């Protein structure tokens, strides 16, 4: 009669533990890099989308003889292309402040408000959606997300003293073949930032894979003020 050998609880050896930890680390690292690659691909795609929109807006302004703009909504992370036949004048933010700064008397301003009707018409922008020859709005140029999981990080234009990080901002293209020099920064969920730089003379754009900010002042244009 043979006796069974008593069972012993065999634990993991140090080498086995190290091997398991190494495998887990490789899997986690691979997943992280894989996710990063996916988000960077989306970021590049969104950057090319903005670049293409800028080239379209530049060409549209020349061909149609209109002033065209890219309008960015930071809250919704959307971009739209719009145009107007109405002339658009430019003024720097400092000029606008000087026009209304010390020249306004607080009491006269308050009294004029009391003398006006309680409800006054709200000015509307002359910019309208892009349409075809039949006047139908082209949906692809209306407000659309810049990219899946992509946010508008910042907008740098010459008509704003500080870079814009909220609200709405625009980049303008003119019928004479000029555009605002501008930088549109996009970011993903990992806070990686890509920048789209628009050249003022050609409307061409360059993509930087970092948060690019011009070293010199964007002083070739001023604040855009719609002529109503």
pLDDT of residue 140: 94
Kindly list the structural domains of the chain, giving each domain's residue range(s) and its CATH number in brackets, ordered by start: 21-92+126-226 (3.55.40.10)
- pLDDT 10s per residue in the chain (228 long)? 555 555 555 556 767 667 767 777 666 555 444 445 666 899 999 999 999 999 999 999 999 999 999 999 999 999 999 999 988 765 655 555 555 444 455 555 454 555 545 555 556 788 999 999 899 999 999 999 999 999 999 999 998 889 999 999 999 999 989 999 999 999 998 899 999 999 999 999 999 999 999 865 555 444 444 433
Structure tokens at 143: 């407000």
**Alpha helix ranges (H) inside the chain:** 14-64, 93-100, 106-115
C-alpha–C-alpha distance, residues 226 and 205, integer Å: 25
The closest of 196, 198, 156 to 178, measured between CA atoms, is 198
Phi, psi of 156 (to 5 degrees): -115, 115
Structure tokens at 144: 């659309």
Find where tokens 């919704």 sit.
76
pLDDT of residue 121: 54
Give the pTM. 0.69
Percent helix, strand and coil across the chain, each to the nearest 5: 30, 25, 45
DSSP 15-65: HHHHHHHHHHHHHHHHHHHHHHHHHHHHHHHHHHHHHHHHHHHHHHHHHHT
The closest of 57, 39, 10 to 179, measured between CA atoms, is 57
pLDDT of residue 87: 82
Query: What residues have CB less than 8 Å from 140, skipping those under 6 apart?
Result: none
């Amino acid at each position: 009669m043979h006796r069974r050998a008593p069972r012993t609880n065999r634990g993991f050896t140090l080498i086995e533990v190290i091997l398991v930890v190494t495998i887990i680390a490789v899997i986690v690292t691979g997943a992280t890099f894989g996710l990063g690659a996916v988000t960077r691909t989306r970021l590049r795609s969104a950057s090319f989308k903005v670049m293409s929109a800028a080239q379209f807006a530049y060409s549209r302004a020349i061909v149609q003889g209109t002033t065209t703009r890219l309008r960015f909504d930071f809250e919704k992370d959307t971009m739209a292309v719009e145009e107007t036949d109405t002339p658009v004048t430019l003024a720097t933010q400092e000029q606008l402040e000087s026009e209304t700064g010390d020249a306004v008397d607080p009491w006269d301003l308050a009294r004029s408000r009391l003398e006006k009707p309680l409800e006054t018409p709200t000015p509307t922008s002359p910019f309208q959606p892009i349409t075809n020859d039949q006047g139908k709005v082209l949906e692809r140029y209306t407000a659309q997300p810049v990219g899946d999981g992509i946010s508008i990080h910042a907008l740098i234009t010459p008509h704003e003293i500080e870079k814009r990080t909220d609200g709405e901002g625009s980049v303008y293209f003119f019928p004479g073949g000029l555009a605002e020099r501008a930088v549109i920064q996009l970011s993903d969920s990992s806070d990686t930032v890509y920048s789209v730089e628009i050249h003022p003379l050609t409307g061409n754009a360059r993509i930087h894979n970092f948060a690019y900010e011009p070293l010199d002042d964007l002083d070739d244009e001023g604040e855009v003020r719609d002529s109503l």
